[in-house]
Each structure stands twice: as structure tokens, then as C-alpha cells.
Copies of this chain bind each other. A is one copy, B any other.
Amino acid sequence: MIDMRPVGYVIGLLLCVLGLTMAGPLVADIAVGNGHWPVFLESATLCLAVGVLLSLACQGGMGGGGLTLRQTFLLTTLVWIVLPLFGSIPFMLGAPEADLTDALFEAMSGITTTGSTVFTGLQDLPAGIQLWRGILQWLGGIGIIVMAMVFLPELKVAGMQVFRSEAFETMGKILPRAAEIASGIAVFYVGLTVLCAICYILSGMDTFSATVHAMTTLSTGGFANTDASFGAYGGAAHYVGTLFMILAALPFVRYIQLARGQAEPLWRDSQVRAFLLTILVCALLIGASLASYSHGFTEVAFRESLFNVVSIMSGTGYASADYMQWGPFPVAMFFFIGLIGGCAGSTACSVKIFRYQILFACIGAQIRKIHAPHGVFTPRYEGRPITRDALSSVMAFFVVFIVGIGIVSVLLTLTGLDAVTAVTGAATALANVGPGLGEHIGPAGNFAGLNDPAKWILTLSMMIGRLEMLVVLVVVTRRFWQG
């Protein structure tokens, strides 16, 4: 059997952190004076009580701070089940008075930074709940960076091993390293969030909305605190949002290097170049289409196009306009852009640029091999040869992702959803993007109208997608639990 104590210990600590952050909404509700603060007091007490008891009970198992491979898998998976569960408590106790289905959907959508919402009338929710939705995404965001930089490379899943630095080889060091990286990253994550909030305020947003949006921008989460999302704000806010969504989707380790005076790694990172180039090309194409479709070649067409392309490709999912009305070309583009994604080591999601780069490098080598059957062609990523292991691993991710979209789509149609809602809902959940297509879950829509089975399927899909598909696939095998 797997010794669950180290897993319980870490989860207990994380629950304590979750409970402590509930002080934010508590203070907000007191400050506004809406009388809603007891919800957060109760929720925080529950979180802290369970967290403290759990970590105390499990403390004995942490001999030397080491985690086995299985414990790491289990920890990674359970974190994305337990934290959403506890994060959903304020939604059940408080103002939205949601049932478990809706509350868990919203909390999972928050922590996985998917950003799909089942709540309507967001602007009428108490300040504390509005803030809590932002905090869930913001915590999820830094959790994702740490997971991508420390845990996934060690677990060698989904091709993340290409980001493994050889200096830290043993699993025993994983927790100290996680703490070290998290604190290094946190400086930039907090710093950029504050900077983003200031820029939003300068662009005309009120301080509270700026704070919430800064948190959901840096986490590429996409929760807004009005139903209109970014449609409610002007051009300046759109440019600020565009800039910080791009910054949030770049690899955070490059910022640490940048602060040490090394600008080169950032500009030479092929992920970054491909990401920026793809955004530029897509924004120009969609902008041109939008211009010919309606506005003419105006600043508005360029801005709307850029904002929404960045929003979808970084996986944020803010909408500044109902792009379902822009004609079939942008609609199809937005669907496929959502399947590209940002850079690994950021808060962005979906397939991610580097996996396409690895797959295309291998296809290139494959074609050269066909030309010269006896030649040896080594596909490379960032100058280093792509190992067979990494390639199989990326391929496994891609196939499971595509087949996963198929399976989830079909399951969703069984609950009665129409085909477009089902397919784009499956894709947006597994890719953690947020909006789908069609009138129901499109940029102007909302997930509130879906039936309960569909919400549960999507909740599970968001979790599986955030765990890069394969972590879950490993944990659910019988072999994992044996021997």
C-alpha cells in the first residue's frame, strides 16, 4: 500500500493556505458592509480545522521530506480534487446559494483557471464572493506554474520531461524544491498582479474590479465580475488586458532569469517566439476578416481581434465581444486557436506551443528520413535532441487529448446537449480555456443553463485537462495501486 501520510500532510498545509486566503473576501464583505462576511468566517474555520487536523495527523510520515513517485502522482491528483471541494464551500453557504453541482463546477473552473461560470448576474453577487472567485483562480495559477516546473517534469508525463533540469534528480528533493521555486515565482506573480491592477485602475476600472481582474488575468483564468466580461470596459483596459495575458502565458522561469540580467533566454526561447508569432498572424487574419465584415480597417477591429485572440490562445477566456457574430471564419479560428495554447511553465493551458514544436520537429525528421532512408535525422527541441521517451510522451498526450475530446463530446450529447455545444464544451473544458461556441456556452453565453450531468462531466474534464490528461490516466490504473 501507498503511505498516504505525506500526501495528507501537504494537502493539509494547502487547506490551511486556502482557509487563510478567505480572510480577503471576509474583509471585503465587512468593508462593503453587506453582512455576508459570516459565510467566509465559517468556511475559513472549516478549512483551517480540517487542514490543521490533517497535517498534524499525517506529520509523522514525513521522514526527510521525501516523496515517492506514487505519492507524488497521488498528491498532484488529490490537490485538484480536495481544494476545489473546500473552495466551493462559500458558494454553497453564501449568496449564490448554489447546490454542490454548481458550487463545485465554479470552484473547479476557478482553481483549474478554466473560467467557465454557472453563475449569472455576477455584478449582483456580494463583493466577497466576487473576490473569492478571483482568489481561486489566482491560487490555481501559481499552483499550475509550480506543478509544471517541479512535479510534471519529475513525473515524466505528457512530454514535460523536456523541462527537467538535471541538477535536481531525486524525488526526495521535490518538496524543498517546490517551496524554493514557488517563492521565486511568487515574487514575479505578485509583482505582475499588482502592476496589472494599477494599469487597470489607470485605464478607468474601479479599484475592486481592477484587483479581481488582475488576479484572473495573471492566472489566465478569465473570471470577470460582470456578465458583460470585458465588453463593459473601454479600449485602454483591453490593451492592458492583452499585455498582461501575454505576460501571464510566457514561461515564468524566464522572468527570474531576466531579473538576473539575462534577457537572452527569454528572446531566444522558441516557445515564446512561436507563441508571439502565432498571436500576431491570427490577430491580423481575424482583424482583416472583421474589418471586411463590418467595421472597416479601424483601431476597434484590430483591438477586438487582438484582445480575443490573446484571450483564447493564452486560455484566459475573457470576451470583449460576442465573436459568434463575426462570421464563420473567426468562429472556426477561435475554436482551433483554443487548441494551441500558451507556453509551458506559465499559467496557460491546452496542448501548448512546445508540444506542437516537438511533434512538428519529428514530422520534419520523418520526411527527411523518407528522402534519405539511410540517413540519421535527430529531431531537436531548443537545440537538444528529443529523446524517444519525450516524443512518445508528447504523442501520448496529444492522442489522449484528441480522443478525450471525442469521448467527452459524445457523453455530453447523451445528456441532451446539441452537437456544437457538446464538442466545443468538451474542448474548452479539457483545454481549460473557458468559453465554447454556440448560443449556450459561447462568449456571450453561460454554463448555467446546462443540465447537472453535463456539469459533472465538464467538472471532471476540467480537472483531467489541468492534470495534463495522463496523470489521471496513470492514477486510475490497477497497477498503480498494486505492489
Contacts of A473 in B (CB 8 A): 363, 367
* Nearest neighbor of A379 in chain B, beta-carbon distance: B392
Q: Does A410 contact B (CB under 8 A)?
A: yes
- Residues of A362-415 whose CB lies within 8 A of B: 362-363, 365-371, 373, 388-389, 391-393, 395-396, 398-400, 402, 406, 409-410, 413-414
**Smallest beta-carbon distance A83→chain B, Å:** 24
Between-chain CB contacts (< 8 Å), 11 pairs: A69-B370, A69-B373, A328-B422, A331-B413, A362-B392, A363-B399, A367-B473, A371-B474, A388-B388, A398-B402, A420-B420
- Contacts A359-B395, A396-B362, A396-B366: A410 and B329 contacting too (C-beta < 8 A)? yes
Q: With both chains docked as a complex, state the minimum distance between the C-beta of A356 and any C-beta of chain B, in angstroms.
A: 8
Specify which of B370, B391, B477 is in contact with A367 (CB 8 Å cutoff): B477
A93 → chain B, closest Cβ, in Å? 36
Q: Which of A48-56, A102-110, A332-340 contacts B (4 or more CB under 8 A)?
A: A332-340
Top 5 closest pairs, chain A to chain B, by CB: A328-B413, A329-B413, A332-B413, A363-B396, A336-B406
**Docked-complex contact B328 and A418, CB < 8 angstroms:** yes
Q: Are B477 and A410 in contact (CB under 8 A)?
A: no
- Please indicate the chain B residues that have their CB under 8 angstroms from the CB of A339 in the complex: 406
Of residues A363, A418, A422, which shows the largest number of chain B Cβ atoms within 10 Å of its Cβ? A363
Question: What are the residues of chain B within 8 A of A413 when measuring CB–CB?
Answer: 327-329, 331-333
Among B389, B418, B423, the residue within 8 A (CB) of A369 is B389
Instruction: List chain B residues, Cβ under 8 A from A168.
Output: none
Docked-complex contact B332 and A419, CB < 8 angstroms: yes
Whether A23 sits at the interface, judged by CB under 8 Å, is: no
Q: Pick the residue among B157, B327, B370 that contacts A370 (CB under 8 A).
A: B157
Chain B nearest CB from A458 CB (Å) reads 15
A residues engaging B (CB < 8 A)?
69, 155-157, 289, 327-329, 331-333, 335-336, 339, 359-360, 362-363, 365-371, 373, 388-389, 391-393, 395-396, 398-400, 402, 406, 409-410, 413-414, 416-420, 422-423, 437, 470, 473-474, 477, 479-480
The answer to whether B331 and A419 touch across the interface, beta carbons within 8 angstroms, is yes
Using CB atoms, name the residue of chain B closest to A289. B414
A73 (CB) vs chain B CBs: closest residue: B370
Given contacts A369-B389, A371-B480, A389-B369, contact A332 B363 (CB under 8 A): no
CB distance B371 to A333 under 8 Å?
A: no
A414 and B480 alpha carbons, distance in the complex (Å): 48
- In the bound assembly, the distance between CA atoms of A335 and B418 in angstroms comes to 13
How often does this chain occur in the complex, in copies? Answer: 2
Closest Cβ neighbor of A416 among chain B residues: B328
For A419, list chain B residues within 8 Å (CB): 328, 331-332, 335, 420, 437
Whether B410 lies near A332 (C-beta < 8 A) is: yes
- Chain B residues with CB under 8 Å of A406's CB are 336, 339
**Closest residue on chain B to residue A401 by CB atoms:** B402
CA gap between A413 and B293 in the complex, in Å: 13
CB closest residue in chain B, given A400: B363
Smallest CB–CB gap between A151 and chain B, Å? 13
Q: Which of A329, A473, A477 has the most CB of B within 10 A?
A: A329
Nearest CB of chain B from residue A78's CB, rounded to whole Å: 17
- Min CB gap A339→B, angstroms: 7
Would B370 and A155 count as touching, CB distance under 8 A?
yes
Return the contact of A336 from the options B332, B359, B369, B410 (Cβ within 8 A): B410
Note all chain B residues with C-beta closer than 8 A to A470: 366-367, 370
A-B contacts besides A362-B395, A371-B474, 17 pairs, CB < 8 Å: A69-B373, A289-B414, A327-B413, A328-B418, A328-B422, A329-B410, A329-B413, A331-B413, A332-B409, A332-B413, A332-B422, A363-B396, A366-B470, A370-B474, A395-B395, A395-B398, A419-B437
Q: Tell me, rounded to whole Å, the shortest Cβ–Cβ distance linking A266 to chain B.
A: 27
* Bound: A368/B477 CA distance, A: 10
- Nearest-neighbour CB distance to chain B for A1, whole angstroms, equals 15
Question: Which residues of the other chain, B, contact A395 by a CB distance below 8 angstroms?
Answer: 359, 362, 391, 395, 398
